[in-house]
Amino acid sequence: MIELQDALRKKEIWAIGGGKGGIGKSLITGNIGISLARLKKKVLLVDADLGGANLHTTLGIGVPEMTLSDFLNRRVETIQDVIIKTSIPNLSLISGAQDFLDAANPNFAQKTRLLRHLETLEADYILLDLGAGTSFNILDFFLFSDHGILVVLPEPTAIENAYRFIKSAFYRRFKKVVANQNIKDVIDAAMDQKNTMGIRTPYDLIERVKTMEKEVGEILELEVNKFRPKLVVNQVRTKNDIQIGFSMRSACQKYFGINLEYLGYVEYDDCVWQSIRSKRPLSVEYPYSRPARCIERIVHNLLRKEQLTLSVLY
């Protein structure tokens, strides 16, 4: 009875992605989880980066017995069977697979089953560590979450991937809310920057759709307004690096018409790679370090639904 009530309690799902690999998604996901757990929230971390699973390593947990792919392949029936309790109170983990190639690409049925089971779990927060890239699964998990968080490094490659991710995500969203096949085709074609329809920006796409079916175009505009990804800049060393978050926020608004919220930044510090090398969680090994405190501030902002304002720079 208590379990049922618990399951019905509102839980939030946060997804952490970023397009580019190796930028610190797993590290940040794990340590956000630790921060929340310390606030006495029940947290479940899910390493959805099948084929590239690192979350367990950033938490200092050895290669686990049962993983997500066991669930996806029905080697076990319920998701509870793959949940691992960590040594940190309130924090549990579903690890990504040490698995075969095809398990890294769950199909639609497997994905739906996963999401359905996740919904039944008792937790205050479920954190999904998405993999790198912009595959449909990653985009869908990102769109499905209550808060989608993008991580970037202050480097052009990471930034480029982030924009690609944003574009892919909401074009995918567009396709989901549109029934008309012709319009879906237009959206698909628009994803190709060199399309022959002269569609360069999302604005162009929406205008084009409006000419085909005005109401659908307006629905797409609403979707754009609803889409509110969050941004974290990792490995920050200078004020200019911090500024990147604000710049991206501005550029997203002007180019996509999307509200990218600047959640915070994580400062670069040697203790980060040291903790990874020693396979110990950052927030446990170096709790007073700057990166650890940056992550706490990020969690604080998310819980309060706040984002950074420019006053941090002046």
Partner 1 sequence: MKKIEDLTYYELLEVAPNATAQEIHRAYERVRRIYEPNSIALYSLFTPEETAAIHQRIEDAYRTLVYEDNRKKYDAKLRGAVELPEPAAPSHQRYYEPPSPSPQRPMPRSLPEPAAPHPADVPQPEPQPPVRHEEVTPVAPFIGEYTGPAIRALRELRGLSLSTVANQTKVSSRYLESIEEETFQKLPARTYTRGFLMLYAKALGCDPERFASDYLRRFDAATKPLKAK
Q: Interface with partner 1 by CB under 8 A: which residues?
A: 154-156, 159-160, 163-164, 201-203, 206, 221, 224, 243-244, 246-248, 250-251, 254-255, 257, 310
The dihedral built from the CA positions of residue 248, 249, 252 and 254, taken in this order, carries a sign that is negative
Alpha helices in 59-180 (DSSP H): 68-72, 108-120, 136-144, 156-177
Taking the complex as a whole, the smallest distance from the CB of residue 28 to partner 1 amounts, in Å, to 20
Taking the complex as a whole, the smallest distance from the CB of residue 86 to partner 1 amounts, in Å, to 36
* CB of 76 or CB of 251, closer to partner 1: 251
Burial pattern 147-184, b for ≥16 Cβ within 10 A else e, equals bbbbbbbbeeebbebbbebbbbbbbbbbeeebeeeebe
* CB of 33 or CB of 217, closer to partner 1: 217
Taking the complex as a whole, the smallest distance from the CB of residue 271 to partner 1 amounts, in Å, to 26
The kind and range of the H/E element at 230 are: strand 230-236
* CB of 143 or CB of 251, closer to partner 1: 251
* CB of 68 or CB of 260, closer to partner 1: 260
Distance CA 186, CA 195 (A): 10
The kind and range of the H/E element at 94 are: strand 91-94
* CB of 181 or CB of 311, closer to partner 1: 311
Taking the complex as a whole, the smallest distance from the CB of residue 227 to partner 1 amounts, in Å, to 12
Question: Of 235, 228, 216, which is closest to residue 276 (Cα–Cα)?
Answer: 235
Please report, as a single letter, which amino acid is at residue 310: L
Structure tokens at 95: 């690890």
Taking the complex as a whole, the smallest distance from the CB of residue 151 to partner 1 amounts, in Å, to 15
